[in-house]
Structure 1
Amino acid sequence: MEFPAYLATMPMHAITEIHGEAGLRERFRLEIQRFEPADRDRLTAALDLAGELHRSDRRVREPYLNHLLRVSIRMLHHYDVHDVDVVVAGLLHDAVEDHPAELAGTTAGDADPTEAALDTLARRFGPRVARLVGAVTNPAYAPDRDRNTQYREHVASSLDREPWARVIKVSDFTDNGVGVIHTTGPKVVSSARKYRPLVPVFRELIGRADTPLSDRVKQHIFQQLDLAEERFSAILDQPAPTA
């Protein structure tokens, strides 16, 4: 497939709409040219693993891999992330949560495969990657409490002690939250309800001195959080219809 010369500057959702997964893969390839060959090999191996694990997964209208590519490209292009472990963890941030048994090579009769899946990531990509993925992996939630409340509590607690995991999670949030307008059907409202409470959480976490991003990047993220709140408000704060 032939791509336009300006693919490297196109907004990611425009690439998604026009060129699909192939376009996002090409954009990712262009973004990682800055790295040494050995690092490019690690990044490509992580993308291959993500593609295999999520090969049958969909996000409404698109392959799930598109989401993982956008999360990683955003970190590379908009957040100026040069840390290979962080980008690898971005590509694999849903692997343990969504496909732990497949990743770990366990069966349904085995014990909880989450730790085994994290061990597999540690062996293949290093313990730091496994730790970052673990920090953004949701735990099992108590059935007698509101899931969205538990999600917010988990994000705040888990990211409190992992500054680089904040970077991965806020890119994930941006794709899900700011990108909510690219979603269709009932998931629009459910996503807005899930992600809106995270806006102040991320604003505080990203503003911390130990969050490893430049002031310029932090200001960019704050603007994205403002945009997310505007979109959540448009979805959720509609006035009740009059009789």
Structure 2
Amino acid sequence: MELPPYLATMPMHAITEMHGEAGLRERFRLEIKVFDEDHQQRLDEALTLASRLHRDDRRSREPYVNHLLRVAIRMMHYYEVRDVDVIVAGLLHDAVEDHPAELAGCEEANGADESTVSDRTGAALEVLAERFGPRVARLVAAVTNPPWDPGRGRDEQYHEHVAASLEREPWARVVKISDFTDNGVGVIHSVGPKVESLARKYRPLVPVYRDLVTRADTPLSDAVRRHILDQLDLAEERFSAILDQPAHPA
């Protein structure tokens, strides 16, 4: 497929709609040209691993890897991130949560109790530490949801985990904010019954991310902070448009 020369400046969801995964991969290739050869190779290795782990995963109408590519590209292009560990963590931010057994090289993937899940998570993080360094593993751990406690609401536990884990990891905030932006601003690109449940899940987190973005220790420039705050405003508008519509008369 021949890709246009202006791909480097196109909005990511426009690339997704017009050129799909191939377009996002080419945009990723263009973005990583600013790094030296060793760092480019490391980023390519992370994308290869993420692509293998998520090869059968779908996200609404698209391959799941599209989401991972957008998270990484957003950090490089819009957040001005040049820390390769952070970009690698962005590509692999769902690897441990979604595919711990495969990442850890375990045979069993289903029917495990909580202690087994915890063991697999730890083993998966060890693999990431060996392949990409302990800092990458720490960042991924900070954005990995713990096993669900059946005695609690899923959304409540998710919100509490996000606030607590990002409190102590400023760079993990950057990964999670890019992830949240893709989920929140991009919610209008989703289809099906999950759209409303996703909006309900994510809307209470907007003030949490506003607070995290504006903290002095969050490693972003003032211009990037303003950009992210604008994106959070847009996400909130879209959540409201989905959730606050008046009921249609029968």
Inter-partner Cα distance in structure 2 for 1:242 and 1:97: 42
Please give the secondary structure, in 2, of the residue aligned with 1:213: coil
User: 2:65 aligns to what?
Assistant: 65
User: 2:211 aligns to what?
Assistant: 204
> How far off is 1:144 after superposition?
2.1
Inter-partner Cα distance in structure 1 for 2:242 and 2:225: 26
Deviates more, 1:163-172 or 1:101-110: 101-110
Inter-partner Cα distance in structure 2 for 1:7 and 1:209: 34
The amino acid that maps onto 1:165 is A
User: 1:7 aligns to what?
Assistant: 7
The amino acid that maps onto 1:141 is W
> How far off is 1:163 after superposition?
0.3
User: 2:135 aligns to what?
Assistant: 128
User: 2:194 aligns to what?
Assistant: 187
Inter-partner Cα distance in structure 1 for 2:33 and 2:247: 52
The 5 A counterparts of 1:90-101 are: 90-101=90-101
Output the TM-score relative to the length of structure 2.
0.95
Match of 2:224 among 217, 222, 231: 217
Please say if 1:87 is aligned against 2:87: yes
The amino acid that maps onto 2:37 is P
For these two proteins, the number of residue pairs brought into alignment is 243
> How far off is 1:107 after superposition?
2.3
Identity over aligned residues, as a percent?
Answer: 73
Inter-partner Cα distance in structure 2 for 1:58 and 1:99: 14
Inter-partner Cα distance in structure 2 for 1:210 and 1:231: 29
What residue ranges of structure 2 are gaps of 5+ in the alignment?
none
Inter-partner Cα distance in structure 1 for 2:235 and 2:24: 23
The amino acid that maps onto 2:240 is S
User: 1:46 aligns to what?
Assistant: 46
What residue ranges of structure 1 are gaps of 5+ in the alignment?
none
What per-residue deviation string (whole Å, max 9, x for no partner) do you get for residues 196-218 of structure 1?
01100000011100000000000
